[in-house]
Structure 1
């Protein structure tokens, strides 16, 4: 029984260290902000910094769904590029099966692009 418990000791040590470090990384910045004064906001600190002018409407206003569609399409085609590079590098080892699998993948993406184009997701007014 003691040997089984000894086998789990490294896992428990790892979990203890991980828990300790994650608590440290959460609590240490809070304590540091108390000492540095970062938790006391003032008017200049609360001003707009992204665009340079005050917001002109409610921040909870709804966005057009096309913003999200463009973002999703960007992610899809960005992932396509991320899959194409390793495929091209290993094409000599994967052979015709790897080539066929990538052609099926590209055909699915082309069908998705055609569908989005037909539905007008790429049109901007």
Structure 2
């Protein structure tokens, strides 16, 4: 009964072990001797030309996160397309409701000005 979940369990165990391994390697390679260049705001070796403002504009990150949210939600189309013949009218109605919710969210974001690039 649970044989179908064994590959998922193996993948989960591998992912957890890999994350611990990579974190351990990063901690071992971490140098503990901070210098002025390492603790500066920009550690690329180039001195700052002007003072960094207190508030950093995050408009690009906001648009990128909104894109990812809508992009991840559209992944739901793939299982729906595979099971379309089995789901019949129920699947069509459910996908219509899903698209309605996505559309309402998209219209809300457009009216709030989330996609305007100033």
Instruction: Report TM bin, short chain.
Output: 0.5 to 0.7
Moved over 4 A (4+): 26-29, 40-43, 53-57
TM-score by length of 1: 0.55
Alignment root-mean-square deviation, CA: 3.6
1:48 alignment counterpart: 44
Q: What is the CA-CA distance between 1:77 and the residue it aligns to? A: 1.2
| Unmatched 5+ stretches in structure 2 | 1-16
Structure having greater relative contact order (Cα 8 Å, sep ≥ 6): 2
Measured against aligned partners, the alpha-carbon deviations of 1:71-120 in whole angstroms (never above 9, x if no partner) come to: 33212211122111121111111221111111101001101111111121
- Give the 3-state SS of the residue equivalent to 1:109 in structure 2: helix
Q: Is the aligned partner of 1:117 residue 2:110?
A: yes
Q: 1:54 to 1:106 in 2, by over 3 A?
A: farther
What is the total number of aligned residue pairs between the two structures? 95
| Unmatched 5+ stretches in structure 1 | 1-20
Q: What is the CA-CA distance between 1:29 and the residue it aligns to? A: 5.1
